[in-house]
Amino acid sequence: ASPAGEMAVSSEKKVYEVVLKQAALVKRHLISIQKPDIVLPGNLLSEAYDRCGEVCAEYAKTFYLGTMLMTPDRRRAIWAIYVWCRRTDELVDGPNASHITPQALDRWEARLEDIFNGRPFDMLDAALSDTVSRFPVDIQPFRDMVEGMRMDLWKSRYNNFDELYLYCYYVAGTVGLMSVPIMGIAPESKATTESVYNAALALGIANQLTNILRDVGEDARRGRVYLPQDELAQAGLSDEDIFAGKVTDKWRIFMKKQIQRARKFFDEAEKGVTELSSASRWPVLASLLLYRKILDEIEANDYNNFTRRAYVSKPKKLLTLPIAYARSLV
């Protein structure tokens, strides 16, 4: 049974079609479009990858540390994908977000098509263009992430979990699908390729649900509520309660159920980590364990995610890394 339960069948079906396509690409070791090698003068391509690594090191320190265990090719490819995702997210969440229009996102998507066709616009695009020419990466998850950014321009409420699941796929589940071909599946794995992709998808969904639960107060101050409206109503809550920002017994009961759902997705994701190539397991498992701890911190804050931001302290992070490393070796 899916962690999303009966409600999300419709969205899950849509997403599963994408999963099957990605899995088929990896199994055939093909790429969706025959793309030419990227030729840049001198050492510019190497410099482009190095710059991607610098951005990853600056904004995702723990994950960057984990990537250093990967082979050089895989490491550089993950950096390139990370940077493209970050740039895409900043279109609607960055300093110029208020000026972003649907037309700007259309231009960004056209630029994405150029990347996959070997026509990068700048150095960072060149790194991704080279990556997708070397690994069986399909363009659809990248397009879907742009679609998630479009959704943020016009949608600030989600009627039910079915709608929220699709949004979580667009903005985070896509990252898992982009990454599996780079991370690689262990040669000794007996799991189906589809199941590994489903686990990667589950990790993206779990991470985004955790982001949503952590940022309830921050989103409310921007007039946004990323929580299923029908489930709020069932709990006797409304947007007004969220804007009021008071922790009540109703809120605690509601939050417990939301956290339980996110943990189910993390559990589903963890099953797939052991199927990844040995050098890729540690960064993925470290990310999973650290993100899951944010849910523990929300509970420790007595479910006050209105005025207190749940975060994992540096000592707890440092304790988690060796645990993740040891488990990645099993």
Residue 36: its pLDDT value, please?
A: 54
CATH number of 11-27+41-329: 1.10.600.10
Q: Is the dihedral of CA 125, 131, 136, 142 positive or negative?
A: negative
Spell out the alpha helix ranges (H) of the chain: 9-28, 44-59, 61-67, 72-93, 102-116, 123-134, 140-154, 161-168, 174-183, 193-214, 216-221, 229-234, 239-244, 249-273, 278-300, 314-329
Segment 282-323, tens digit of pLDDT: 888 988 998 999 999 999 999 999 999 998 888 888 888 788
d(CA 290, CA 287): 5
Segment 33-50, tens digit of pLDDT: 455 555 555 578 899 999
pLDDT at 71 over 90: no
Look at residue 158 and give its three-state secondary structure.
strand
Residue 8: its pLDDT value, please?
A: 43
d(CA 294, CA 313): 10
Both tokens of residue 8?
A: 């999300």
pLDDT confidence tier of residue 232, bands split at 50, 70 and 90: very high
Look at residue 20 and give its three-state secondary structure.
helix
Where do the domains of the chain lie? 11-27+41-329
Strand partners, 228: 158
Residue 33: its pLDDT value, please?
A: 45
Both tokens of residue 185?
A: 């599946």
pTM reported for the whole predicted model: 0.88
